[in-house]
Chains A and B, each alone.
Chain A
Amino acid sequence: DVVVTQSPLSLSVTLGQPASISCRSSQSLVFTDGDTYLNWFHQRPGQSPRRLIYKVSNRDSGVPDRFSGSGSGTDFTLKISRVEAEDIGVYYCMHSIQWPWTFGQGTKVEIK
């Protein structure tokens, strides 16, 4: 199975400051079609998860442009350029290159 590992597992950020979360996979997430199947999700307390980024760097509809994804192969990063209060919660990376699709452990983001 492909394992995805996030770091850090918790992050305390000042409003307006940047934040960055790393995700590393145990093998390449490049599929035979040439796409890289690494997604990022955000889950606020008491809510369902919401996908923010798909295929490494594509923002889903309605996602603010302060969120960006980057990386390739086995190393990926989610960046928030300026953290806002609504960004609190848990962020998960997730691969879907082969079954089982798996999530990282989650990174809890809080405001200082």
Chain B
Amino acid sequence: EVQLLESGGGLVQPGGSLRLSCVASGFTFSSSGMSWVRQAPGKGLEWVSLFHNEHGNTDTYYADSVKGRFAISRDNSRNTLYLQMNSLRADDTAFYYCAKGRGDYWGQGTLVTVSS
């Protein structure tokens, strides 16, 4: 059974940093593309960052809204995906979901609140 378990969310002041983690199980993590998707309270979905692994492409991608502030990384030995979030702003407040591939599996999400 595929499982994705996010952690690391919480309350942080504007300008602060957080690192989210997503521990994966039930599939071959090292050969899977992985992503972070967020959803502000009551709003729609935004694909924040992608660690691609398809058609020979293993690049990383970022939404314009987080480029230069967020960094996606992975530790295949620990089956873990990370999202380092720096210079956080109020509009980064959202549930952050870890997703496998093109969204075939999702975690339960972790809430990040940026507020003073």
Question: Chain A: residues with CB nearer than 8 A to chain B?
Answer: 33, 37, 39, 41, 43, 48-51, 54, 60, 92, 94, 96, 99-106
Contact = CB atoms under 8 A, between A and B. Distances in A.
Contacts of A33: 55
B103 A94 contact: yes
Interface stretch (B9-17, B73-81, B105-113): B105-113
Size range of the chain B interface in the assembly: 10 to 19
B45 A49 contact: yes
24 contacts: A33-B55, A37-B102, A39-B102, A39-B103, A41-B45, A43-B45, A48-B97, A48-B109, A49-B106, A51-B102, A51-B103, A51-B104, A54-B102, A92-B45, A94-B45, A94-B47, A94-B103, A96-B103, A99-B50, A101-B47, A101-B50, A101-B102, A102-B47, A103-B46
Contacts of B90: none
B64 A105 contact: no
B44 A103 contact: yes
B52 to A, nearest CB: 8
Interface in B53-102: 55, 61, 63-64, 97, 102
Nearest to A105: B44
Given A33-B55, A48-B97, A48-B107, A103 B47 contact: yes
Nearest to B107: A48
A54 B104 contact: yes
The residue among B46, B61, B64, B103 with the most chain A CB atoms within 10 A of its own CB is B103
